[in-house]
Chains A and B, each alone.
Chain A
Amino acid sequence: DAMVIQNPRYQVTQFGKPVTLSCSQTLNHNVMYWYQQKSSQAPKLLFHYYDKDFNNEADTPDNFQSRRPNTSFCFLDIRSPGLGDAAMYLCATSRDGPGRRGSYEQYFGPGTRLTVT
């Protein structure tokens, strides 16, 4: 089945120690997103890639970076995790089409729960 895969499902890192979360997709979608979701809250968009074009949200801290080496893979790098970065990180994909009407749904991976000790 076509899907969005995130690894690992659970990640523990130390305060200030860089960590990388990964996402892969078999849907061949051209748009990939990273969201941060804290407990009992809505997902918050950090950034997205439209093909290779990186789009950062204005309020995303510089501590968060992303890489997309090819269509299938996207990485979230947290350079110096703080206690406030503990959250669920969700990767999502969508396709886009002529006119970018926005009617295409996003497909989410299962998420990576990050703990910072």
Chain B
Amino acid sequence: GNSVTQMEGPVTLSEEAFLTINCTYTATGYPSLFWYVQYPGEGLQLLLKATKADDKGSNKGFEATYRKETTSFHLEKGSVQVSDSAVYFCALSGRNNNDMRFGAGTRLTVKP
């Protein structure tokens, strides 16, 4: 079945550091890929998405590229801020929306 594996946290960075959170997937067919962010005590918010190979999703300085050859969708940001501290979930959706699979989540803490 479909599944997502993302790098374990927690990740602690200093402000303005470069961020990479690795995400790889296993899926049949052509899934859509998502990154969600969850701030403390809140629900999940969509950060970015990509629906086909080589698509790049981007939002708020974050970006991720759908790499079919490496089955990856790594999240990157060039310069993190304290306000980026949150838990980040990689997810994929198969043929049906009810087939959404989440990774285990990576907690990011950014220190001033």
A interface residues, Cβ below 8 angstroms from B = 4, 6, 31, 33, 40-43, 45, 48, 50, 55, 90, 92, 94, 96, 100-111, 113
Binds A, one of B16-24, B72-80, B92-100: B92-100
Which of B51, B97, B105 interacts with A42 by CB under 8 Å? B105
Which of B31, B95, B98, B104 interacts with A33 by CB under 8 Å? B98
Q: Is the CB of B43 within 8 A of A90?
A: yes
- Provided the pairs A41-B105, A110-B42 are in contact, do residues A102 and B95 lie with their beta carbons within 8 angstroms? yes
Give the CA-CA distance A92 to B102 in the complex, in Å: 14
- Provided the pairs A31-B98, A48-B98 are in contact, do residues A43 and B49 lie with their beta carbons within 8 angstroms? no
B25 at the interface (CB under 8 A from A): no
B31 contact set on A, CB distance < 8 A: 102
Give the CA-CA distance A113 to B42 in the complex, in Å: 10
Which of B34, B94, B103 interacts with A105 by CB under 8 Å? B34
Which of A40, A45, A50, A55 interacts with B107 by CB under 8 Å? A40
Which of A6, A31, A110 interacts with B97 by CB under 8 Å? A31
B71 at the interface (CB under 8 A from A): no
B89 contact set on A, CB distance < 8 A: 42-43
Give the CA-CA distance A86 to B34 in the complex, in Å: 27
Task: Tell me the interface secondary structure of chain B in the complex.
Answer: mixed
B46 at the interface (CB under 8 A from A): yes
Within 8 A of A (CB), among B67-87: 87
B interface residues, Cβ below 8 angstroms from A = 31-32, 34, 36, 41-46, 49, 51, 87, 89, 93-100, 102-105, 107
Within the complex, the shortest CB–CB distance from A63 to chain B, in Å, comes to 21
Within the complex, the shortest CB–CB distance from B52 to chain A, in Å, comes to 9
Give the CA-CA distance A115 to B80 in the complex, in Å: 34
Which of B93, B103, B104 interacts with A103 by CB under 8 Å? B93
Report 11 cross-chain contacts, Cβ distance below 8 Å, ordered by A residue.
Answer: A31-B97, A40-B107, A45-B100, A50-B98, A90-B43, A92-B43, A96-B97, A100-B96, A103-B51, A103-B93, A104-B97
Q: Is the CB of B98 within 8 A of A109?
A: no
- Provided the pairs A31-B98, A48-B98, A105-B34 are in contact, do residues A42 and B45 lie with their beta carbons within 8 angstroms? no
